[in-house]
Structure 1
Amino acid sequence: MNTTTELINLITLKKIGENLFEGRSSYMGSPNVFGGQVVSQALYAAYQTVPEDRFCHSLHSYFILPGNLEIPIEYEVTILRDGGSFTTRSVTAKQEGKAIFMMACSFQIEQDGYEHQIDMPIVKSPEELVSWTDILEQFGTLLPKAIHNFIAAERPLEFKPTVIQNPFEKVDYEPISNTWIKFNEADMDLSIPTIQQLLAYCSDYNVLATSLLPHASKAHFGNTQVASLDHSIWFHRNTDLKDWILINVESPSASNTRGFNKGSIFNRSGKLICSITQEGLMRPKQA
């Protein structure tokens, strides 16, 4: 899978019952189902049960068990409330009868009100940076196997980090990361629900890794067990996805084998599209 059209097809679920949907999975560099895929598919399922004039403004989710790539995922939507302005749903994802993921999400009609936002950080433009593909082509044979295999996986996205950490340098970094992301072949006009589902998909990239940066002199994906525990998104403004978007992430804290991260996603013009938070497991592996 390497195009936006293929990704949209993956997110689009099959209806198999009343408020019940089924989805498949795609390999994204991990032996387990990619968390962003489950969040985006759950959001798709919820959207099938809400009025067309309401759009998601927030979702809060928990990853309960690792997902099996080979087994279909069932998404069951529970209708919690339909109010005058807000609509609330919960979604449970299951494999072989066991819950692997749960999400609560809220939808709102469009309304006028006060507006403000933080400024986008000042970083290099995408044109000044190298992509994951460029790194693979230039240094592929020199990269540690785990990093090489992760970067080499086919994806419907292109990534350009503003800072590239050298995995062979045993130094610690500030707990901040900025990465430009662009959806491949996304030159079509998309609906707001589809844009939000694509943002949900990409919002799980480059987040938990930020928690490892202050410990990079000794911790890496090879000797650390990492897994997303929860994930939340607040959708602020609509945008198109034809151009690069910037994911700015900082990790304020790590403790008790958990790393906490918060992020902001901007479009190229500096508009704050959405905010995200994620806490993840980052447990040193026993030798």
Structure 2
Amino acid sequence: MIAADGPFHDDRPLPTRDAISDILDVTQTGPDRFTGSAGAHNHIGSVFGGRLLAQALLAGMKTVEALPASSFHAYFLAAGRTDRRLDYQVARLRDSRRFANRQITACQDGRAIFTMMAEFHAPEEGFVHQNAAMPVVPPPERVAPIQHFVRERAAELEQAVTHNFAAALAIEMRPIAPEDYFLARPTEAARSFWFRQSGATTVEDSRLQQCLLAFASDYWLGGAAAIPHFLPTNSGEFLITSMDHAMWFHRPARCEAWMLHHTSSPSAGDGLGLTTGRIFDRDGRLIASTAQECLMRRLRT
């Protein structure tokens, strides 16, 4: 549910680090083989996980005629390099009248760095319900971009926050009350943020929109598990890295429109933290569900 007001009022798009055309740059190199761009350098220093999700899903789609994706489950096996292209191999596991299943493996220099199991399903008549309510938050136009927050509160923030979030990011993002977890350690492992990809206006294919949503879904998901324990971003003192990622597509959406990702962590232990997420459009429709487990380590300095 959208609250009536907030402190900010600006809907101008901000530049992002990754062009839509580059995210979707997946070309066929042989039977069920594809290659994609590894993307721009980022503060982590390796390929952004969302790019692997988007391009692997797209590679799978290129072997499935017309069917939209219904879900995927993926594992990050090793860090990818941004100075090498990504090679994708698709294995066709099932093709039936209404379903198709694919396994997609991403490699660099002959080494597997990522694998995904994806399911595609032809929509059909069936039961419909939504038993998930969007949190009460200000509309995105009333929420400041993360870069604005970092600039305004730089004197209070740790250097890792200003270093990681002052410049262009993978997506446009407007976090709800970021001071709650960047300037304090709350007990609740949860956060919500609006996000969009303004460049997606040029993308007409609804399946490509799913790939872009998969790309965006990886950003800031797993970090909710760190909120009660440590500053939720990579730094010289703390490492957080994605181990896996799952996503279920419930309803179609366009990624140039604002969506809210509400994330919460039900459990952390043994060095791992689990986060689940729900993605809503601004009308409160549940667009997708997400889940991710992250490795969390305090580093010795």
TM-score range, shorter chain: over 0.9
- Structure 2 CA distance for partners of 1:260 and 1:237, relative to 1, 3 Å: same
> Aligned to 1:64, which of 71, 77, 83?
77
Distance 2:183 2:200 in 1: 36
Distance 2:35 2:202 in 1: 26
Matched residue type, 1:17: G
Alignment correspondent of 1:243:
257
Q: How does 1:33-44 map to 2 (within 5 A)?
A: 33-44=47-58
Distance 1:146 1:81 in 2: 45
Q: Does 1:226 align with 2:240?
A: yes
Q: What percent identity do the matched residue pairs reach?
A: 31
Matched residue type, 2:90: V
1:266, 1:274 within 8 Å by CA — same for their partners in 2? yes
Question: What is the CA-CA distance between 1:146 and the residue it aligns to?
Answer: 2.3
How many pairs align?
A: 285
Consecutive unaligned residues in structure 2, runs of 5 or more: 1-13
- Structure 2 CA distance for partners of 1:88 and 1:199, relative to 1, 3 Å: same
Question: What is the CA-CA distance between 1:253 and the residue it aligns to?
Answer: 0.2
- Deviating more after overlay: 183-192 vs 76-85: 183-192
1:28, 1:153 within 8 Å by CA — same for their partners in 2? no
Q: Does 1:98 align with 2:111?
A: yes
Superposition CA RMSD, Å: 2.1
Alignment correspondent of 2:36:
23
What does the per-residue CA deviation read over 1:160-184, in whole Å, with 9 as the maximum and x for residues that have no partner?
Answer: 1111136774533411111000212
2:198, 2:255 within 8 Å by CA — same for their partners in 1? no
- Deviating more after overlay: 19-28 vs 204-213: 19-28
Distance 1:82 1:131 in 2: 43
What does the per-residue CA deviation read over 1:207-236, in whole Å, with 9 as the maximum and x for residues that have no partner?
Answer: 1110011113x7763222211000000001
Alignment correspondent of 1:127:
141
Matched residue type, 1:196: Q
Q: Does 1:46 align with 2:34?
A: no
What does the per-residue CA deviation read over 1:154-208, in whole Å, with 9 as the maximum and x for residues that have no partner?
Answer: 2352211111136774533411111000212443452111110010001011111
Q: Does 1:212 align with 2:237?
A: no
2:182, 2:232 within 8 Å by CA — same for their partners in 1? no
Alignment correspondent of 1:145:
159
TM-score normalised per structure 2? 0.88
2:181, 2:232 within 8 Å by CA — same for their partners in 1? no
- Structure 2 CA distance for partners of 1:155 and 1:284, relative to 1, 3 Å: closer
- Structure 2 CA distance for partners of 1:3 and 1:281, relative to 1, 3 Å: closer
Distance 1:219 1:278 in 2: 15
Alignment correspondent of 2:125:
112
- Deviating more after overlay: 190-199 vs 130-139: 130-139
Q: Does 1:76 align with 2:86?
A: no
- Structure 2 CA distance for partners of 1:12 and 1:137, relative to 1, 3 Å: same
1:28, 1:154 within 8 Å by CA — same for their partners in 2? no
> Aligned to 2:297, which of 277, 283, 287?
283
Q: How does 1:257-276 map to 2 (within 5 A)?
A: 257-276=271-290
Alignment correspondent of 1:203:
217
Consecutive unaligned residues in structure 1, runs of 5 or more: none
Alignment correspondent of 1:87:
100
Matched residue type, 2:161: I
Distance 2:15 2:272 in 1: 32
2:200, 2:254 within 8 Å by CA — same for their partners in 1? no
- Structure 2 CA distance for partners of 1:241 and 1:219, relative to 1, 3 Å: closer
What does the per-residue CA deviation read over 1:232-255, in whole Å, with 9 as the maximum and x for residues that have no partner?
Answer: 000010022332100001100000
